[in-house]
Amino acid sequence: MPELPEVEVLKNELIVILNKKIINIKTSNKNLHGKKIPDMNSLIGDKFTNIYRRNKYLILESSHYYLVVHLGMTGQLKFEDNIPDEKHIHIIISFSDKVLYYKDIRRFGSISLYDKNTFPNYLIIPLFTKLGVEPLSPEFTIETLNKYIDDSKSSSKSFIMNGNYICGIGNIYASEILFLSKISPQIPINSISIEQRNFLFKNIIDVLSKAILMGGSTISDFVHLNGQKGSMQEHYYVYGRTNQPCKICTTLIQKIKQNGRSSFYCPSCQNTLN
């Protein structure tokens, strides 16, 4: 479900929970990504004071803890008046007048709690220390991108989805970014020209920024904190458009498998000879 734009949208919306006293927390006894949900009773009586995003993770900071949330493929965070009677709700955080709950059908998400005595800054949590650059931060420059490209022997598709280089790009936006950059998903990333590198740099920023502006993509599960859907899926050039005409050249969009995942591309626009 969620890539960088969807998580960023939620991060921005989560400001409504800031400084509200946590009255109660309930968790299901199911596993998330094969692991037990941690005991979060120590958060009761506390409040969240800041929300951050790193890669596709949300970090909810309280007085003494960082609560780190990953939505996996089908995770949803919703903020409502009452707890709905729905399946697959795994965490309920109750405030005096509202509830924040986590729903996740496939349970590929994850939840963990980190003590600020051990991790005074969330960036030193092991999950985050090996990650690459945030593409919408000032640290993302053409020099950084070039250094990463020279470092990698992967295909362009694997490269831009690798969070150890650039964070937050998943399977949807990878295809969209490569299409706009006129880069075939199969060619080695270190074989692209200077011009293509500059174009790729611009398109990474443009695609992710536009997706945030559109409120993210809702393919099946992603929703905003209030349940609304995003609209970026209406602007796709290639993702999910197998055998439909390219919006630029009318060549039929192709779907291939790379590393067990689908890549969508235009065989004409994304010609390796470009």
Partner DNA sequence: CAATTTACCTGGGTGC
Partner DNA sequence: TGCACCCAGGTAAATT
Strand partners, 263: 256
Residues near DNA (CB under 7 A): 1-3, 6, 31, 33-34, 55-56, 70, 72-73, 87-88, 105-108, 127, 152-155, 158, 161, 163, 170-172, 216-222, 259-262
**With respect to DNA, which residue has the nearer C-beta, 27 or 155?**
155
**With respect to DNA, which residue has the nearer C-beta, 154 or 184?**
154
Q: Which of 116, 210, 255, 261 is catalytic?
A: 261
2 is a catalytic site residue: yes
Give me the least distance between CB of 46 and DNA, in Å please. 25
Residues 224/234, Cβ–Cβ less than 8 Å: no
134 is a catalytic site residue: no
**With respect to DNA, which residue has the nearer C-beta, 122 or 222?**
222
For residue 234, give the H/E element and its range. Answer: none
Q: Which of 11, 56, 103, 157 is catalytic?
A: 56
Give me the least distance between CB of 47 and DNA, in Å please. 27
Q: Is 185 helix (H, G, I), strand (E, B) or coil?
A: coil
What is the C-alpha radius of gyration for the chain, rounded to an integer number of angstroms?
20
Which among 140, 233, 224, 148 is positioned nearest to 190, based on CA atoms? 148
Name the pairing type of β-strands 75-80 and 261-265.
unpaired
**With respect to DNA, which residue has the nearer C-beta, 23 or 28?**
28
The CA-CA-CA angle for residues 5, 75, 162, to 5°, reads: 50
Give me the least distance between CB of 149 and DNA, in Å please. 11
What is d(CA 246, CA 238) in angstroms, rounded to the nearest whole number?
7
What is d(CA 254, CA 243) in angstroms, rounded to the nearest whole number?
6
257 is a catalytic site residue: no
What is d(CA 151, CA 100) in angstroms, rounded to the nearest whole number?
42
Give me the least distance between CB of 1 and DNA, in Å please. 4
261 is a catalytic site residue: yes
Which residues are marked as active site? Answer: 2-3, 56, 261
